[in-house]
Chains A and B, each alone.
Chain A
Amino acid sequence: MSEPKSFRRTHLDGHLLHPSTQMMSYGYDASMSEGAVKPPVFLTSTFVFKSAEEGADFFDVVAGRKPAPQDGGAGGLVYSRFNHPNTEIVEDRLALFDGAERALVTSSGMAAIAAVFLTHCRPGDAIVHYSPLYGGTETLLGKVMTGWGIKPIPFVDGLSDSMLLYALEKAARHGPVRIVYLETPANPTNALIDLKMVRRVVDEWSSVSGQTPIIVCDNTMLGPVFQNPIRHGVDICVYSMTKYIGGHSDLIAGGITGSAALLKPIRQSRSAFGFQLDPHSSWMLARSMETLTLRMERAAETGVKVADWLASNSPIPCKILHPLHSKNAAEREVYARQCSGPGSTFSMVVADDRALAFRIVNGLQLFKLAVSLGGTESLVCHPASTTHSGVPADARARAGVTEGLIRLSVGLEHPDDLIADLRIALDKAARG
C-alpha cells in the first residue's frame, strides 16, 4: 500500500477530497470492526478498560484534566454519556464539512443551543441576539435564560453595523456581553445577516470595551452544505440536526462546531447535563449524512423552481421570501459572498389574514401540514399560529411574521408535482 490507510485522511496523495466524498468513510476505520464497510451500532452504555491504569488515563481526558490526543480523537472510550463511537463518527464528519476543528453532537438542536449558553454565560451576563430567531430559541432566551439572570438584547437588522453596535452598548449596560447569537437565513423570513460585518463590529467594539463575546450562529437552514459561518469569522455554529442533516424526519438531534478550545468546556457540560445523543440516532445520522449533499442540492434546485413559479404565477398575490428573490441589493451581495446555495425552506406571504392562510395550507395535499423542515417530504407550516406563537405579537410583527406568512420546506419530490399541488390549493383558496 502506497499510503497507510487512515480513517481521517483528507487527501489522496496531492488531491484534496470533497466533503461529499468524505461522508462515506471519514472517521471510521473498517479494520477495527471486522472489516465491516458500515459502522456497527454500538448499543452499549459502557466500555471495558484494558487495565486500571488505562481507566485512570481515559478519565483524566474526559474530565478535562488532561488534553485529548492530538489526532482529533476525543480520547479513550469511557461511558456513553461522555463519548461514543457512533457519535464520534458523526462529529468527525460534521467538523470536516463545516471546516471546524471539532464538533459535538447533542440530543436535540435546543440541547446544543442550551449547552452553549449554559457553558459560556453566568448570572448577570448579557446576550445580544438577532431577532427573529427560531421560536424555541426566542423562548429559551426570553423566558428561560432570564430566569437565570441572563439578559437577552435583540437587534433586528443583520446588515446594519450601527444597530448591532447599539445593541452591544445597550447590553453592556446590563452586564458583561458573553455571546452574540445569530441565525441566518432567519426562520421564517429568510433575512440574511452579514457575518463578516458582525465579526468586524464585534472586534472593533471589543477593542474599545475590553469585552470579547463569542459569536454563535445557528446554521440549521443552509449548513453545512451551502454555508460555513466559521469561514466567515463566526466562533461557534449550532445545528438542529433534526432538519437537513438528519433529513428524513425520523430523528431529533443537535450539533455544535468550533475550535477545540471553545468546545472543550461545552463537552464538559454536555457530559454533566446529559445532553448526549443516543447510539442508534447517531448511527442513523451517519447514514443520513452520506446523502446530505445530494439531498440539499436537489431540494434547493426544486425550491428555486417552486419559488419562481409562485412569484410569477400564484393566483393569490404573494411576496416570496427566498434568498434569490430578495430585492435588497445589500442582502444579495451578502448572499453571493456567504452562501453557495439558497436552501429549500422559504416563505410566501399573502395578505395579513389568518383565514386566507389557513384555507391555503388546508388545501395542500402533497405538502404535509406539519412543523419542522429539511426532510425528504415537503412540509408546510403557519408560523404565526405554531412555531412562533410563543413570540410576543409586537416582536412577530416587527420581524414580519404576519398571519399571511406561510413557510414551505421543499423536499425531494418532483417539482412539477409540488407546483401542481400549490396551484390546486391556491386556486381553491382564491375562490374562497
Chain B
Amino acid sequence: MSAPLPNRDRLATRLIHAGQSPDPLTGAVITPVYTSTTFVQDGIGRNRGYDYTRSGNPTRLVLEACLADLENAGAAFAFPSGLSAAATALELLPAGSRILAHTDVYGGIHRLLADVRTHTAGHQVRFVDFSDSAALEQAAESGADMLWFETPSNPLLRIVDLAAVAHIAKRIGAISVCDSTFASPCGQLPLDFGIDVVMHSATKFLAGHSDLLGGVLAVSAEAPEALTARVRYLQNALGAVMCPIDCALLLRSLKTLSVRVDRQAANAAILAQHLAANAQALGLSEVIYPGLASHPGHAVAARQMENFGALISLKLTGGLERVERVLSSTRLFQFAVSLGGVESLIQHPASLTHAVIPQDQRAITGIGDDLIRLSVGIEDAGDLLADLLNALT
C-alpha cells in the first residue's frame, strides 16, 4: 500500500489512487489484469493470499478496495451485473422474510422482488412510496426485515430521505439497502447517512461508457460485522463475481468518474431548466428533475446530494404517436435503454425498462405511456439542447 493520501476527503484523488499502488514486482502504474483462475499454493494452508479466482482475485480486490473507499464503506464487493448484486443481497434474508420496497424501482428489481423471490424464497414483499415519509412510517409499523429503495428512483426520480430510512431501519431492526445507481458516489454517499448497504448497477455511471455490465454491494463499517462477512461469504458461495478483465476496465472508468458526472449533472441542469421554462411551448406536461425547485424532493436532494444527477424524465402531450416520433427523431440522444454513460440516451420506460411491472401498478406509480426518460451525457450542452428542441418542436 502507498502512503496515506494527504486529504482523504477528496473524491477526485481517491478515484484515481484509492486501493491502488504501483505493482510491487514491476512498478506498473496501472493495476495488472490477473486472468488466472487458480493460484499455485506454497504448501498446505500456505499461499500468497489467493487460491481460486471466484474466492479472491488480485485485480478484483483492488477494484473492491477502491469502491469501498469511495463509498466510505467497510468493504465492497464486485458482481457481474447490478441484478446479481441485488440477488446476492437478498440472500442475506432467511426464507419467508418481510421486505418493504419503494414503489418506484427499476423494473428488473421489481421483477426480482415481486415475481422471483416471493416464489422461490417465500418472501412477503410490500411496496410503498418511500418518498412519502408518513406512508413509509406507517408501513414500517407492521415490521420488516429489509428496506429496499432507490434514490433518485427509476424512472420518476423521486427523492428518498436517506437519514429517515436509516432511522426507521434501526428502529425496527431491518437491513437498509439503497440502490444508489442514479447518484453514483459523486452524487451521494448513503452510508454516511446510516444506511447499511449501498447497491449499484456499475453498468451505469461507474462504468460510464456503456461497455460493461457490473454490480456493487458496499457495506457500512457501522453495520454489524456479521453483515460484511455474510456478503463476502455469499459472493463466493453464489458465485456471482465480476471477471478480472471487467474489473480492470471498471477501474479505468472510475478514474474519470468525477469529471464525467460533474459534466453530466451540469448538462442535465441546463437542459432541465430550459425545458421547464418552455414546457408549454414544447408540449411537455411535466419536467421531472430533482434540481428544479418545483421538484417535491428538491430540498431533501439539496441536503443529501452533491449534485442532482444526470437523469431527466419528461411527460409529453400529444399521445403515444408523438412520444414515438420524439423518441425516434432525436439524433444525439440515441433511443436505447440504460443510462449514466458518456453518450446521451432517450428511452420509454412503459414499453422497455418497466414493461415487466403490471400495467395497473405502473398506472398507480405514474409510469404512463407519455413518460420519456433522458440520460444526459458529456456532450456539449448546446448541441444536446439543439437536438432536443429539434425533436420536440
Contact = CB atoms under 8 A, between A and B. Distances in A.
A414 B380 contact: no
Given A21-B379, A250-B252, A368-B29, A3 B331 contact: yes
Contacts, number: 131
Given A2-B329, A295-B256, A413-B17, A38 B211 contact: yes
Contacts of A377: 16-17, 29, 255
B211 A287 contact: yes
B126 interface: no
Interface string B21-58: 01000010110000000000000000000000000000
Interface string A155-184: 000000000000000000000000000000
B363 interface: no
A420 interface: yes
B334 interface: yes
A231 interface: no
Contacts of A25: 332, 334, 343
Given A291-B260, A368-B22, A37 B336 contact: yes
Contact of B329 (A1, A15, A21, A411): A1
Given A295-B259, A370-B29, A416-B7, A20 B380 contact: yes
Given A20-B378, A298-B259, A414-B12, A37 B343 contact: yes
Q: Chain B contact residues: over half helix, strand or loop, or mixed? A: loop
Interface in B327-361: 328-329, 331-332, 334, 336, 341-345
Contacts of B3: 365
A413 B342 contact: no
Contacts of A249: 29-30
A294 B30 contact: no
Nearest to B341: A37
Interface stretch (B168-176, B269-277, B309-317, B383-391): B383-391
B27 A370 contact: yes
Interface stretch (A5-13, A142-150, A205-213): A5-13
Interface residues of A, number: 44
Given A37-B336, A420-B7, A13 B378 contact: no
A54 interface: no
Given A291-B378, A377-B255, 20 more contacts: A13-B386, A15-B383, A18-B383, A24-B377, A24-B379, A25-B334, A30-B334, A248-B30, A294-B256, A294-B259, A295-B256, A295-B259, A366-B5, A366-B6, A366-B13, A377-B17, A377-B29, A412-B256, A413-B16, A417-B5
Interface of B: 2-3, 5-7, 10-13, 15-17, 22, 27, 29-30, 209-211, 252, 255-256, 258-260, 263, 328-329, 331-332, 334, 336, 341-345, 377-380, 382-384, 386-387, 390
Interface of A: 1-3, 5, 9, 12-13, 15, 17-18, 20-21, 24-25, 30, 35, 37-38, 248-250, 287, 290-291, 294-295, 298, 365-366, 368, 370, 375-377, 379, 411-414, 416-417, 420-421, 424
6 contacts: A12-B383, A24-B342, A366-B17, A413-B13, A417-B5, A417-B12
